[in-house]
Structure 1
Amino acid sequence: MKNINPINTSAWKKLQSHFNEIKDIHIRDLFFKDTDRQKNMFLNFHNKIFCDFSKHRINNQTIKYLLKLSKETHLHDAIELMFKGKKINVTENRAVLHTALRNRSNKPLFINGVNIADLIDSELMRIKNFSDLVISGKWKGCTGKRITDIINIGIGGSDLGPKMVTESLRMYKNHLKLHFVSNLDGNHIINVLDKINYETSLFIIVSKTFTTEETMLNAQSAREWFFKSSYKKDKASVSCHFIAVSENINQAKLFGISKKNIFQFWDWVGGRYSLWSSAGLSIVLSIGFNNFVELLRGAYEMDMHFLNREFHENIPVILALINIWYMNFFKTETEGIFPYNQNMHNFPAYLQQATMESNGKSVNRLGKEVNWTTSSIIWGAPGTNGQHAFFQMLHQGNTLVPCDFIIPMFPDHDLLNHHERLMSHFIAQTRALAFGNDQDSNIKNIKLLDIDMNKKNIFLSRFKQFKGNNPSTSIILKKVDPFSLGSLISLYEHKIFVQGVILNIFSFDQWGVELGKNLASDVYCELKKDSITNKYDTSTNYLINLYKNK
């Protein structure tokens, strides 16, 4: 990919000048001046996803300059490099091909002389055959009983993605009970183990390297619990209850898992993009293989939209450009994600990792420090809960927060009155944020003959004023089904990629995760010693010694 600092482009300079002209214009005035605004700022994906970005502090000129920025930073070339399997993850010398995992075209794709399309199809068939056995009850535990509980042990992308998908698609789930264990805190694994029976439980240990501390310690505790619970302690009994998903097959075998129980994914699949691979085995076990294929198909169709659509009608590109506009010109620091669907309550957490681990960088692709913003802080919660928590700040605070509102048009339940009321709140919130209210309307009914009451009402009207001009995107799914959810996840993946390309950073490494892990290993060794620790700063020494003297 080209190394072009965005602030050096002519488009960036034009955007800065344009920002100075538009920054104080109210969204309501933008609508007043452009009667076709909503029509021109609305995109439709296969009648499955509808995206309205008209309630943003932008106009047609803003979009023109942002599109020019994408051209000057060679975004189109970068997209093609990713889909062709070029090693765009330069610091790890890897290709980035989570898109290949959902490629339904059956076209060959060669990496280092190997057709990875064949590898993917082969692994998919293994997943299908295995999941069919477990779901049907033909896969038995060591005492001959059917599996009833699936325990996914992983962290980060090996946890957040599968957990978010299985919860979002809970209306498609079968009889199997899903549990997810990620935290190093022993409470997490204990809380799950207390609920299950060793005879009917299946553990899936998901770790790319099979050395991740949190995952492996939880896996070891699960294995110890199994051996304490079971009177059968041989390898054959373990093979009935422990599955591995890893790139490191040898390490998984050393753990005691037989090779036939090891599902593979590859170094060109990043952890936070791995739910499409065998790391999504828990998804398949929850909703069935056919629904998993629909999830892949939805993602693939969004991939094709991203790859082939002109940028002015390309949803991931447009949303990424708008976010760059806010981060670097309005200097916003956060971005709110609000799914108006309770089953999608973990979607903001999923996007936290996907966005902040990808683009939370401070050096460009040449290793030099940047002086522009590369990532928003992602946060959010389901509506309408958020309305009774932090929306007060969104409406009347002095911090600008661009927001994404997400809702299905058709609910996955039959309480239609609930959904219509939910939809009314969804629409009303985006309108209230954008347009606010008119101060005069708060005092128009004041009784002019009552001077004291008049003063009181004028005073109170100040507290009931909503300035508006708060931006949001409305994303309406036809329904939360496997296809649409797959498309939505893919949309955000590509939005993140576009931002990384234009802002000249590497989005697919995560070296920032490593320092704390390495220091933790060193501190752990200190905690095991009897002597007083003096090797660190005074604060760290104090905390270690405080723990030792407990």
Structure 2
Amino acid sequence: MPLPAINPTKTNAWKALEAHFQELKDKQMQDVFSNEPTRAGRFKIEWKDFYVDYSKNRITDKTISLLLNLAEEVGLKEAINQQFSGKPINQTEGRAVLHTALRDLNNLKPEVASTLQKMKGFSEEILSGKHKGFSGKPITDVVNIGIGGSHLGPEMVTDALQYYRNHLNIHFIANIDGDDVKEILKKLNPETTLFIVVSKSFTTQETIVNATVVRDWFLKTTVEENIQSHFVAVSANIQGAIDFGISEDNIFPMWDWVGGRFSLWSSVGLSICCAVGYHNFEAILKGASEMDGHFKNEEFDKNIPIVLALLSIWYNNFFKVESEAVVAYSQYLNKLVPYLQQAIMESNGKNIDRNGDKIDYQTGTIVWGNVGSNSQHAYFQLLHQGTKLIPTDFIGFSKPLQGNFKNHNILMANYLAQTEALWEGTYNKEVENPFKFFEGNKPTNSILIKKLTPNSLGKLIAMYEHKLFVQGIIWNIFSYDQWGVELGKTVAKGTLSSIENKNASEIKNSSTQNLIKKLLDS
């Protein structure tokens, strides 16, 4: 059975939301907390170690009720059940979408269970020093070679879990920029470095070119047979990896029912296992699985991903807000936003609906941000006094990992103060200097988590995965294909040929022709 394919703008709830929006669009709502003593208690969700306060939003009880009606009308419950049951909801590619099955530790597919055991055994051999390099020395450095989902997820997680890191040095090669590859290789000793080549197809241009550069560098020091003790692959193309020189025993499988941007839960997470140990990787899976259960089973009005998605729909489609910010008050999460940018914008950057029709409403929010409190000294000026309305998620943790409560208290004071200042502004206060006027009425969600652990990080990532899924269902788009990514790759083959052949006339576009000529003349 295909996913429901309902144009949201044709539903009764959408029309009611349009009328409701006219009532609220110009209303200054800062006094809601004094007028509604129970508001903060009503607009919150407490679940395990998560506390989500969404009371500082331009909403009323009626707004939430109408948004919930919208979710019902577009068949969200049915869509959730279809995803978890393994139906091929990625219809344009004919695939199921089952990254959740990678972390269902109580009901693992046999192929997933065996792969996890292989990851566990391999990473423990690396960490214990049992796996030796070609000269008999233990591995000290691990390099993940991938791009997109094969890079952003593992890098973000290993960065976020620095506190839990072991003695291994972890590096990431993704960009085809040869200068960057060279800079990383400068830091490495071929005798003690393990390379993980991550590519589902084992044909991804950037990854295979970079892996070849690395292999050539490695072979300057030793012979080809030693590739087998220093290179492993994560791929569905076993023969391709073998042809590269990798032992079949060192190839970790991938499956077509896992999209790249949701693959960190799979063998793509091998570098995570090496960085923080398999037990912590399993804790990440468990946390994500707990969020899966919450999303699948909780009532919509108490369901964190669903409520966050509905609020995003409210601003994007009714206030015509195009972007939303994510600000994490932890330096450990400095790679979270680039990860979310791929997950969200690659998934929902679509303009054709599930019926194959051109869409005439907004989809795909632009996601941006950085860590607090750094960002307060940068783009927060625009959030506070700019002309654009930008809803913002504030992510914070009750406890610091290193035990420095003096700094942490200041950090969290800013976390709390910024959401209040964005909401209150200088409302009902006399401001003689117009340059010090703050309009306020700026919406935020406060996501307060007890502590940054592997488990809570797994929950947080899964929360945003489910949020983007809900958005896609409501917008009536396919969130799990990525045809827009493929077009640029196809065109690049032609421009590469023109550059290598030093023949700009191969290109039809006159602007590109001129640019190639300039490039070749330089």
Give the TM interval when normalised to the shorter protein. Answer: over 0.9
Summarize deviations over 1:435-492 as a string: whole Å, max 9, x none: 10146443xxxxxxxxxxxxxxx3xx11111110000000011111000000000000
Kindly provide the amino acid, as one letter, of the partner of residue 309 in structure 2.
A
SS in 2 for 1:91: coil
User: Do the aligned residues in 2 keep the contact of 1:16 with 1:329 (CA within 8 Å)?
Assistant: yes
- 2:29 paired residue number: 27
**Is the CA contact (8 Å cut-off) linking 1:533 and 1:544 kept in structure 2?**
no
Moved more, 247-256 or 279-288: 247-256
Distance in 1 between the 2:474 and 2:503 partners? 52
User: Which residue is 1:301 aligned to?
Assistant: 290
Counterpart residue type for residue 472 of structure 2:
G
Question: How much does 1:530 deviate?
Answer: 3.7
Computed over aligned residues only, the root mean square deviation of the Cα atoms, in angstroms, reads 1.0
Partners of 1:238 and 1:257 within 8 A in 2: yes
2: CA distance, partners of 1:71 / 1:503? 13
Contact 1:6 1:504 in 2 (8 A): yes
Report the residue type matching 1:276 in the other structure: W
Structure 1 position 502, deviation (Å) = 0.9
Are residue 9 (structure 1) and residue 11 (structure 2) matched? yes
User: Residue 532 of structure 1: CA displacement?
Assistant: 4.7
**How far is 1:529 from its partner?**
1.9
Task: Tell me the SS of whatever aligns to 2:505.
Answer: coil
1:522 corresponds to: 494
Q: Does structure 2 conserve the Cα–Cα contact (< 8 Å) formed by 1:363 and 1:505?
A: yes
1:50-99 superposed Cα distances (whole Å, 9 cap, x missing partner): 10000010111000000000000000000000000000000110000000
2:13 alignment partner, SS class: helix
Equivalent residue in structure 2 for 1:274, among 263, 272, 279: 263
C-alpha contact 2:145 2:195 (8 A) present in aligned 1: yes
Equivalents in 2 of 1:419, 1:357: separation in Å?
34
Q: How does 1:495-514 map to 2 (within 5 A)?
A: 495-514=467-486
1:239 shift after superposition = 0.7
1:437-448 matches, cutoff 5 A: 437-438=426-427, 440-442=429-431
Q: State the Cα deviation string for residues 493-534 of structure 1 (Å, max 9, x = none).
A: 000000001110000000000111111111111112244526
For 1:223-372, list aligned pairs within 5 A: 223-228=215-220, 230=221, 232-235=222-225, 237-372=226-361
Where in structure 2 are there 5+ consecutive unaligned residues?
none
Aligned partner (choices 382, 390, 397) of residue 393 of structure 1: 382
Q: What is the distance in 1 between the residues matched to 2:54 and 2:427?
A: 23
CA distance in 2, matches of 1:504, 1:106: 30
Counterpart code for 2:73 = E
2:495–2:507 CA contact under 8 A, matched in 1: no
What percentage of residue pairs aligned between the two structures are identical?
49
Structure 2 equivalent of residue 197 of structure 1: 189
CA distance in 2, matches of 1:162, 1:532: 39
Q: Does 1:80 align with 2:88?
A: no
> Contact 2:315/2:321 (CA < 8 Å) preserved in 1?
yes
Q: Distance in 2 between matches of 1:158 and 1:531?
A: 34
1:352 is paired with a residue whose SS is helix
Matches within 5 A, 1:90-169: 90-106=91-107, 117-169=109-161
Matched ranges for 1:374-453 at <5 A: 374-438=363-427, 440-442=429-431
Find out whether 1:39 has 2:41 as its counterpart: yes
SS of equivalent to 1:92: coil
Greater CA radius of gyration, 1 or 2? 1
Does structure 1 conserve the Cα–Cα contact (< 8 Å) formed by 2:494 and 2:507? no
Q: 2:57 maps to what in 1? A: 56
Amino acid of the structure 2 residue aligned with 1:479:
K
Query: How far off its partner does 1:374 sit?
Result: 1.1
Aligned AA (1:511): W
Shift of 1:287: 0.6
1:188 aligns with 2:180: yes
Match of 1:212 in 2: 204
Q: Does 1:464 align with 2:436?
A: yes
Mapped partners of 1:247, 1:326: distance in 2: 40
Please say if residues 27 and 55 of structure 1, whose CA atoms lie closer than 8 Å, have aligned partners that are also in contact.
no
- Structure 1 residue 30: deviation in Å? 2.7
Task: Report the CA distance shift for 1:530/1:312 in structure 2 as closer, same or farther (over 3 A).
Answer: closer
User: How many pairs are equivalent?
Assistant: 520
Matching residue's letter, 1:423: M
Tell me how far apart the structure 1 counterparts of residues 504 and 9 of structure 2 sit (CA, whole Å). Answer: 51
Partners of 1:433 and 1:469 within 8 A in 2: yes
- 1:175-226 residue CA offsets vs partner (Å, 9 max, x unmatched): 0000011001112211110001000000001111111111111100000000
Q: Are 2:164 and 1:172 equivalent residues in the alignment?
A: yes
Q: TM-score, normalised by structure 2?
A: 0.98
Gaps of 5+ in 1: 108-116, 443-457
